[in-house]
Structure 1
Amino acid sequence: MILILFAGGIALAVSILLTPMLIRQFSKQGFGQEIRLEGPASHQSKRGTPTMGGVAILVALWVGYGGAHVVGIAYDGGGPSASALLVLGLTTALGIVGFVDDYTSLRNKRNLGLTARAKYVGQIGAAVVFALLVLRFPDSNAVTPGSRNLSYVRDFAIVYMPTLLFVGFICVLVVAWSNAVNLTDGLDGLAAGSMALALGAYTVITFWQYRQSCSTDPRVGCYDVRDPLDLAIVCAAAAGACIGFLWWNAAPAKIFMGDTGSLALGGLLAGLSVVTKTELLAVAIGALFVVEAASVVIQVATFRTNGVRVFRMAPIHHHFELASWPETTVIIRLWLMAAIASALGMGLFYSEYLSAVG
């Protein structure tokens, strides 16, 4: 437990101290966000706000995770695990894709970075590597970080995926979650605050999996998850990084995370769902991101089929803005939805455990 607290605390401190340094540096370099003309008119005042703040989140995440392991030496803690490093690798790879997208947009001085095809190539490339590696590195009990079975809280034994299907499934997960978080990152602090809540839920879940692990205490209801304690350290570090960044990203934002942060955090959520065997449960925990992405899909589908717009504007947070809700009201209410979703996810997780042991 102490290592989890250290990871969150170190990442929080690094993020909250590094972000203002990035604000000053990016402002000097002219790395200001371009704003879409077709968006809400109130957003035009945000033009020029420094972006690519996701760099601070990624640095804080790695330092928090690494710092916890340095501290862990004194507590006879284990070293970095395969599961955690694979998730961190996926997160960083998508952060690099987002960074290239952000930098291209800033260089071109318009709100268009990489083409959709180029961005998908980067996302899918990272997903394929993750999918192939996550089935390797078995521990002493032959448990690998990932599983070929679809999972809710545990694997469904009857839903087994051959390698090609599994790789395709991981690609869908990574692209869907990274784009969902990216779409949510449209209001000051919305994505960072919502991710902190989801990661808080995953910190609790992974720590519970560690306490009920089959490798240390094989009994009814135990979890066949590789490295759950190390995954809890990753979750705590990521949550701390998001909270520290939120200090500067909350309305009125002094910096935006950009695609550097949103794609990375979406990849983190996708990776965690795979290695914790909670791919379907993640839909409940990250329900806000699901709703944001679904609103875009619905808007595009209905407009292309019959020319009707279901929402005033998509993603759905812009719909509420155009309905004359103040931006801070939209943010706080969607944070509340994210908190409810996280609590619901933890409740579903625990109820499944009670069913398993009952």
Structure 2
Amino acid sequence: MKTILIAAVFALLTSILFTPMVVVYFRRRGFGQEIRIDGPQTHLVKRGTPTMGGVAIIGSTVVGYLVAHIVIAIRGGGGFDLSGLLALYLMVGLGAVGFVDDFIKIRRQRSLGLRARAKFAGQLVVGVSFAIFALQRPNKFGLTPASTHLSYVRDISAIGLGSIGFVVLAYLIISATSNAVNLTDGLDGLAAGAAAMVFGAFTLISFLQFRNPCGAHPLAGCYDVRDALDLALVAASAMSACFGFLWWNASPAQIFMGDTGSLALGGLMAGLAILTRTELLLVALGGLYAAITVSSILQTGWFKFTRIRTGTGRRIFRMAPLHHHFELGGWEPVTIIVRFWIMGGMAVAFGMGLFYADFIGNG
């Protein structure tokens, strides 16, 4: 538990102290955000605010994880574990895709960066390589970082996917979650605050799994999760990195995370869900992201359907994603952010309730 706290503290300090340096550097380089012209007009005043702040979140997460392992090494413990490294690989890899997207927006001074096909191709390469590596290197108990079974709060033994099926599912989860966080990142601090709650939940989940492993002598309710402590270190570091970044990203934001941050955070959430065997539980934990994504899908689908049927496209919401609907309805941005944080917190509490109910129910 002390090691997890060390990871969290150092990630928090690094994020709080490092982010303003990133702000200054990006301002000098002219790395300012371009605002979509079809979005809320109130956002136009934010044009030029430094973006790509996700590098601070990613860097702080890595620092927290590394410092924790230095402490472990000083105490005579082992080295890095494969599961933690894979989770960070997914975070950094998708962050790199987002960085390229953000950089193109800045260089060409437009709100569109990578084209959709190029972005999905980048997510495909990172996601599929993660999934393949996650099925390698079994430990002494025969556990690989990921499992070929579908999981809820643990593996569902009756639903086996096979290696190919798992790779496909992993890519779908990674792509869906990273894009969902990207859609949510539309108001100052909204995505970072909600992400911190989700990573806090994964910290507790992986810690409980670490304290109740199956090992050589399985007991009722034990968890077949490889390297659970390492995953707790990553989750705790990411949680604190988000909190530290939020200090500078809260309204009025001095820096935006950009696609660099949103794709990285979404990818890490997906990776933690896959590696902790809680894939379906991610839908509950990330309920806010799911709701915002569904709002965009409904808006687009209904517009296309009504245009085909009547010749005139109609919309369900004033604007999608969902937070822009309330913004155009006259809600103050800060009010929307706080209420959406409450929704995100309720979703995380519900997801943790499901996990803990299974934990208690299995003794």
Partner in structure 2 of residue 35 of structure 1: 35
Partner in structure 1 of residue 335 of structure 2: 329
**CA positional deviation for 1:216:** 7.2
**CA positional deviation for 1:16:** 0.8
- Which letter does structure 2 place at the counterpart of 1:4? I
**Aligned counterpart in structure 2 of residue 309 of structure 1, from 291, 315, 338:** 315
CA distance in 2, matches of 1:216, 1:232: 22
**CA positional deviation for 1:156:** 1.1
CA distance in 1, matches of 2:217, 2:14: 36
- Which letter does structure 1 place at the counterpart of 2:59? V
CA distance in 1, matches of 2:228, 2:164: 27
CA distance in 2, matches of 1:341, 1:79: 35
- Which letter does structure 2 place at the counterpart of 1:310? I
Q: 1:74-94, CA deviations, whole angstroms, 9 ceiling, x for partnerless residues?
A: 333332111110111011100
Change (3 A) 1:96 1:70: same
Q: Is the 8 A contact 2:84 2:230 kept in 1?
A: yes
Q: 1:215-252, CA deviations, whole angstroms, 9 ceiling, x for partnerless residues?
A: 27631000000011110000000001101100000000
- Which letter does structure 1 place at the counterpart of 2:317? F
**Aligned counterpart in structure 2 of residue 341 of structure 1, from 347, 350, 357:** 347
**CA positional deviation for 1:166:** 1.6
> Over aligned residues, Cα RMSD in angstroms?
1.0
Give the TM-score normalised by structure 2.
Answer: 0.97
Aligned length: 357
**CA positional deviation for 1:164:** 2.0
Q: 1:315-350, CA deviations, whole angstroms, 9 ceiling, x for partnerless residues?
A: 000011011110000000000111111111111001
CA distance in 2, matches of 1:215, 1:62: 28
CA distance in 2, matches of 1:153, 1:217: 20
Aligned ranges for residues 1-358 of structure 1 at < 5 Å?
A: 1-215=1-215, 218-306=218-306, 307-357=313-363
Where does the alignment leave 5 or more consecutive residues of structure 1 unmatched? none
**CA positional deviation for 1:259:** 0.3
Partner in structure 1 of residue 310 of structure 2: none
**CA positional deviation for 1:42:** 1.1
Give the 3-state SS of the residue equivalent to 1:13 in structure 2: helix
- Which letter does structure 2 place at the counterpart of 1:333? R
Q: Is the 8 A contact 2:141 2:216 kept in 1?
A: no
Change (3 A) 1:216 1:236: farther
Structure 1 window deviating more from structure 2 (139-148 vs 210-219): it is 210-219
- Which letter does structure 2 place at the counterpart of 1:35? I
Give the TM-score normalised by structure 1.
Answer: 0.98
Q: 1:253-307, CA deviations, whole angstroms, 9 ceiling, x for partnerless residues?
A: 0000000000000000010010000000011001111111111111101110012
CA distance in 2, matches of 1:208, 1:343: 16
Identity of aligned residues (%): 54
CA distance in 2, matches of 1:50, 1:176: 26
